Amino acid sequence: MALLEIRNVVRRFADFTAVDGVSLQVEAGEFFTLLGPSGCGKTTLLRMIAGFDAPDEGELLLDGQSLRGIPPEHRPIHTVFQSYALFPHLTVAENVAFPLRMAKVAPDDIRRRVQDALEAVHLSEKQRHLPHELSGGQKQRVALARGLVNRPRLLLLDEPLGALDAKLREEMQMELINLQKNVGITFVFVTHSQAEALALSHRIAVMNRGHVEQLDEPSRLYSFPRNRFVADFIGKINMLEAAVLRSTAEALVLDVAGVGEVWAPALPAVAAGQRGMFAVRPEQVRIQSGEVAPAGVGHNQVHGRVLDFLYIGDVTTYLVELANGTRLEALLPNTAPGRAKFFEADDPVTLTWSSQVGVFLDA
């Protein structure tokens, strides 16, 4: 049985439907992420799990038991808020002790468990400080310790890294992964950052307009997006209009605008004549100098001219314009030290990619 089951949950507000028939299951011990742009319903869903809001239709079950009518204080679920929501008049140790006090744990046990929890987040020496004396990252850690100290069945995290700067965010990501692994508590994480979701999660539900668009492991989401929204939202991707020429068990042959015949991984559900988009990631497209001769059937290849490039440090992204005006991005790692680019604007180049990469999207 799944730890948390969400069954056909609908939540309507005055003029729009925030959550529109979401069903999903979170397994015990999982690091589960709800990913989507703002307004997609992920926070509303989280608030219903925590008990701050209730579904208009459908049901939430924890360990098979309905959560209907159970107030937040009686749910074995804790939340780490985006703003951390530390109690400003209590010290770090008192903040962490709060859930234990509410659960009427013996004072000696409270002291010991608060120590352990603060040690786990490396904040033992700050226990007598007030929240306003802490940095953003430290507040974040206190909120985590406070959420975990009473060992909830489920820890909800509402964009907890949103307020941190980039470097600290990366550190905290590592810590979150380790912490979740060590404590073995199920995490449900909400974020609009696809990079964060990919780095942290075991599974991700991509949400849009109150629906779950796709629920999958990070690598599958990235490689096999099910529709345009997911493809576009997760990472960078080139999208080209395409029509299906042939669909076989081994491959899908497409007619892609501006490129011609393209071989793509097989999709059994797709039939010849269907129209849609061919999507391929910039790092899967190889860029070579000059006009290379066609390498034969099954090798996707197209000529173009470098329009522009963007040096990022570890890689450079080249924007290439094809003969018909279609633009494609290709990514090249900067392996030669001291060189920001391998091509100049207006250089003729050839783009190639394997028939094993890219995906046809009909929706």
Partner 1 sequence: MRRSPLLWAVALAVYAFLYIPLVVVVLYSFNDSRLNAEWVGFTLHWYRVLLNDGEMLEAGANSLLIAFVSATFATLLGTMSGIAMHRFKLRALPLLVITPVAMPEILLGVSLLIFFVQVLNFTLGLFSVLIAHITFCVGFVAIVVRARLAGMDESIFEASRDLGASPWQTFRLITFPLILPGVIAGALMAFTLSIDDFVITFFTAGVGVHTLPLQIYSMIKIAVTPEVNAVSTLLMTLTLGMIIVASRFAPDALKGAA
Q: Does 89 bind partner 1 (CB under 8 A)?
A: yes
Q: Does 52 bind partner 1 (CB under 8 A)?
A: yes
The DSSP bridge partners found for residue 205 are: 34, 215
Q: Tokens representing 222?
A: 């990235």
Q: Tokens representing 93?
A: 């140790």
Find out whether 244 and 254 touch, Cβ atoms under 8 Å. yes
Q: Tokens representing 10?
A: 């609908």
Q: Does 102 bind partner 1 (CB under 8 A)?
A: yes
- Which of these segments, 74-82, 242-250, 251-259, 327-335, binds partner 1 (CB under 8 A)? 74-82
Q: With CB under 8 A as the rule, give the number of residues binding partner 1.
A: 24
CB of 99 vs partner 1, minimal distance in Å: 4
The runs of H, that is alpha helices, within 150-209 are 166-183, 194-200
CB of 130 vs partner 1, minimal distance in Å: 13
Residues 152 to 191 in contact with partner 1, rule: CB under 8 A: none
Q: Does 130 bind partner 1 (CB under 8 A)?
A: no
CB of 97 vs partner 1, minimal distance in Å: 10
Q: Does 99 bind partner 1 (CB under 8 A)?
A: yes
Q: Does 150 bind partner 1 (CB under 8 A)?
A: yes
Q: Tokens representing 69?
A: 């009518």
Q: Does 73 bind partner 1 (CB under 8 A)?
A: yes
Q: Does 72 bind partner 1 (CB under 8 A)?
A: yes
* Phi, psi dihedrals of residue 120, rounded to the nearest 5°: -60, -25
Residue 191 DSSP SS3: strand
Rank residues 81 and 224 by Cβ distance to partner 1 and give the closer one: 81
Candidates 8, 23, 83, 289: give the one binding partner 1 (CB under 8 A).
83
CB of 102 vs partner 1, minimal distance in Å: 3
Residue 334 DSSP SS3: coil
Q: Does 81 bind partner 1 (CB under 8 A)?
A: yes
Cα dihedral 51, 56, 59, 61 in deg (nearest 10)? 0
Determine the angle formed by the axes of helices 92-102 and 136-148, rounding to 10 degrees: 20
- Which of these segments, 45-53, 56-64, 132-140, 286-294, binds partner 1 (CB under 8 A)? 45-53
Distance of CA 171 to the CA centre of its chain: 17
What is the bridge-based pairing of β-strands 186-191 and 31-35? parallel
Residues in contact with partner 1 by the rule CB under 8 A? 50-52, 71-73, 77-79, 81-83, 85-89, 98-99, 102-103, 146-147, 150
